A and B are shown apart, each in its own frame.
Chain A
Amino acid sequence: DGGITQSPKYLFRKEGQNVTLSCEQNLNHDAMYWYRQDPGQGLRLIYYSQIVNDFQKGDIAEGYSVSREKKESFPLTVTSAQKNPTAFYLCASSPRESGRIHEQYFGPGTRLTVT
């Protein structure tokens, strides 16, 4: 079955520690995205990548970093510089061909709690 996997589902960290969230897709999609969702709010874009070895900052990139060394993988690191890291993190992918780029497929999410 094709899809997107994120691990772990729940993650607990102490303040000051960096943490890396995993995202893998086997949909053969070129574009991948990381979003943050806070309670009762919409999705805010952290980073996105339209092709391997290339990525761009979204609206709230400060305190986060990503890499895109393989088409299937787009890990997100939440650094100690991120002031309010506790949130629900969603990874998504979409085909790049015109007419379908609006169709984003999401992983199950990682709920990160930092204390």
Chain B
Amino acid sequence: GQSLEQPSEVTAVEGAIVQINCTYQTSGFYGLSWYQQHDGGAPTFLSYNALDGLEETGRFSSFLSRSDSYGYLLLQELQMKDSASYFCAVLTDSNYQLIWGAGTKLIIKP
């Protein structure tokens, strides 16, 4: 079967750095995406890694290791507005479908 694992909840302090991990086991792999979803809202695209290494976009960075089937999302200088759920999703070669993890709820404390 296909599966993605990420922690269900992570807590951090405003201004700090937090890392959200994702390990995957899928039948095909093109790349790993990250999405943010605020409570009651729709997911919004954050980043995509097709190759090994770190991609930086402002305060957010995403990392991929294809050999380890592992990636992470790194959020720096945390702000209260970053409180949300974060989903990793693998783009598979099965008609270009995204397979989604269950999401990590990020709780930020002042």
Contacts and interface: CB of A to CB of B under 8 A. Distances in A.
Given A58-B97, A102-B98, A43 B91 contact: no
Interface stretch (A44-52, A60-68, A74-82): A44-52
Interface string A21-51: 0000000000100000000111111001010
A103 B8 CA distance: 24
A41 B45 contact: no
Interface string B33-49: 10100000111110010
Given A56-B95, A90-B42, A42 B103 contact: yes
Given A43-B87, A56-B95, A105 B103 contact: no
A42 B4 CA distance: 10
Nearest to A90: B42
A31 B98 CA distance: 12
A58 to B, nearest CB: 7
B101 interface: yes
Nearest to A100: B48
A106 B44 CA distance: 7
A18 interface: no
A114 interface: no
Contact of B42 (A44, A48, A50, A108): A108
Contact of A90 (B8, B43, B96, B97): B43
Contact of A50 (B33, B45, B95, B98): B95
B100 interface: yes
Contact of B45 (A43, A105, A107, A108): A105
Interface in B74-110: 87, 89, 91, 95-98, 100-103
A95 to B, nearest CB: 11
B30 A102 contact: yes
Given A42-B4, A42-B100, A102-B48, 15 more contacts: A31-B96, A40-B102, A45-B98, A58-B97, A102-B31, A102-B89, A102-B91, A102-B96, A103-B33, A103-B45, A104-B45, A104-B98, A106-B44, A108-B42, A109-B41
